[in-house]
Amino acid sequence: MSKVKYYYDSETLSYRKIESKRGRKIGYALLYIASVALCAILLVTVFIYTSFETPNEKVLQRELAKMQFQYDLLNKKIAHAESVLENIEERDNTIYRLYFEANPIPEEQRKAGFGGVNRYEALYNYENADLLVSTTKRLEVLQKQLVVQSKSLDEIAKLAEDKEDFLASIPAIQPVTNENLTRMASGYGMRNDPFTKARKMHWGMDFTAPKGTPIYAAGDGVVERADNSSSGFGKHIRIDHGYGYVSLYAHMSKYNVRKGKKVKRGDLIGFVGSTGRSQAPHLHYEIRKNGDKINPLNFYYGNLSAKEFEELLKNAAKQNQSLD
């Protein structure tokens, strides 16, 4: 056993124990070991808590991963819907509405947001509130755009229906078959009267054809008149096509429609004759727009090529004698 040694401290006027170097070394060693042990315990604790999750935590982790996957999928679907809708909106404004002469829908009307300062206040009580609010806003704007676009397409459908009716109603074909364009006897304009030989306005077009040649409705409409008047037209028909258009077919040998009957373009309505003030069998054909008599030649785009129309235009311009 080692002896304990002392020394006299002149400042305190007392004896003090002399510590051995070996004791100090052991003390330092114990302090170091204790520090290392504490660090090891901390590391093991962290490792255990991070590496070994409880069953409940594992379930929560799976649910979180599932929700993240569903959100990513929803986000992709929203982005796809926005892209498709944007394409439809562009075609709506630049093609459909332009074709039907409708004003384009302003961008601010299509993408207007929803009012209300506290509209999303309840969502801020949840975790990931910013994510919920941004997604909700996108969905609501998308919903608003879909409503606007749906109404626009309803309007376009109505315009298309009206346009289809309008195009079908226009008297756009020649009322008799004229394949080689030889039946044009006299056009619209100043012509010689066949009875007085005087120059007078000829308000329609005369088509020469044998008696009994079929006459067809030039457009969809309703028979406004079918009789034998004393106006010089003889047996004649008037068809009201709507939109201000009326067509007249005169000097018929007979007609097979009556007043009030609905007809379609190309329907047989009667036959060529020479009744009334007529010099020879022919069809006198007129078109009126809002009561004004206009040149029927401008409406023969329904069954003529550009070359045929040019040829017919030359024939109609000849300064000859009318047949009525």
Nearest to 273 by CA among 261, 256, 259: 256
Q: Is the pLDDT of residue 315 over 70?
A: yes
On whether residue 175 sits in a domain, the answer given is no
Note whether 283 and 190 are same-domain residues: yes
Note whether 137 and 197 are same-domain residues: no
Note whether 282 and 196 are same-domain residues: yes
Give the CATH number for residue 230.
2.70.70.10
On whether residue 306 sits in a domain, the answer given is yes
Q: How many domains does the chain have?
A: 3
Host H or E run for residue 139:
helix 129-169
The reported pTM is: 0.60
Note whether 150 and 207 are same-domain residues: no
Note whether 11 and 45 are same-domain residues: yes
Host H or E run for residue 73:
helix 55-91
Note whether 203 and 277 are same-domain residues: yes
What integer pLDDT is reported at residue 223 of this predicted model?
A: 97
Secondary structure letter of residue 108 according to DSSP: H
On whether residue 179 sits in a domain, the answer given is no
Ramachandran assignment for 105, one of left (phi > 0), alpha (psi -120 to 50 degrees), beta (any other): beta
**Residues 258-282 pLDDT 10s:** 999 999 999 999 999 999 998 899 9
**Residues 13-38 pLDDT 10s:** 665 655 555 455 555 555 655 665 66
Contact 189, 202 (CB under 8 A): yes
Note whether 189 and 308 are same-domain residues: yes
On whether residue 64 sits in a domain, the answer given is no
Note whether 128 and 30 are same-domain residues: no
**Residues 198-246 pLDDT 10s:** 888 889 999 999 999 999 999 999 999 999 876 789 999 999 999 999 9
How far, in Å, CA of 242 to CA of 238, rounded? 12
Structural domain including 206 reads 184-316
| 292-294 and 282-289 beta bridge pairing | antiparallel
Note whether 160 and 226 are same-domain residues: no
What integer pLDDT is reported at residue 260 of this predicted model?
A: 96
Note whether 42 and 75 are same-domain residues: no
Note whether 15 and 111 are same-domain residues: no
Q: What is the DSSP string of 88-103?
A: HHHHIIIIIHHHTT-P
